[in-house]
Amino acid sequence: MELSHRVEENIYLILMRGNLVEGEASDILTYAKSAFEDDEIKGMVMNFQEIVRFDSSGIGVIVSVFKRLQQLQKKLVLCQLNQKLTEQLTRIRLNKLISIYSTESEALASFRS
């Protein structure tokens, strides 16, 4: 998996490319550590636009990131999920805890309201 990020309006945006699967999914936690530690960061957007495959490990990482940010009183939102991942998260009701947006712009705007 390839990861990149940028900070916009004190929001940490992670763009993931490739597969969010066992053996690779946990890299996100390490990668996002700076967002967890930076007091200026208000929250995180995880952009799934370029995710090809995912498994339960990937969902587990989403939950782990959510829990860590919640402990820090920061917000996590997801955007640009494919239909299969959206259905999975809806099936396990994760969409009730974590907001899902169609676009990155909508996800960023959610921090302004």
Give the tens place of pLDDT for each residue, 92-103.
999 999 999 999
Confidence band for 28, pLDDT divided at 50, 70 and 90: confident
CB neighbourhood size of 11 (10 A)? 21
For residue 10, the enclosing domain spans 2-108
pLDDT at residue 30 in the model: 85
pLDDT at residue 24 in the model: 79
Q: How many residues appear in the chain?
A: 113
- The answer to whether 62 and 78 have CB atoms below 8 angstroms apart is yes
Please name the amino acid found at residue 54: F
Instruction: Provide the mean pLDDT of the chain.
Output: 92
Does the pLDDT value for residue 67 go beyond 90? yes
User: Would you say residue 113 lies in a domain?
Assistant: no
The alpha carbon torsion through 20, 23, 25, 30 (nearest 10 deg) reads -150
User: Would you say residue 17 lies in a domain?
Assistant: yes
- CATH number for the domain that contains residue 31: 3.30.750.24
Look at the chain and report how many structural domains it folds into: 1
User: Would you say residue 80 lies in a domain?
Assistant: yes
pLDDT at residue 26 in the model: 77
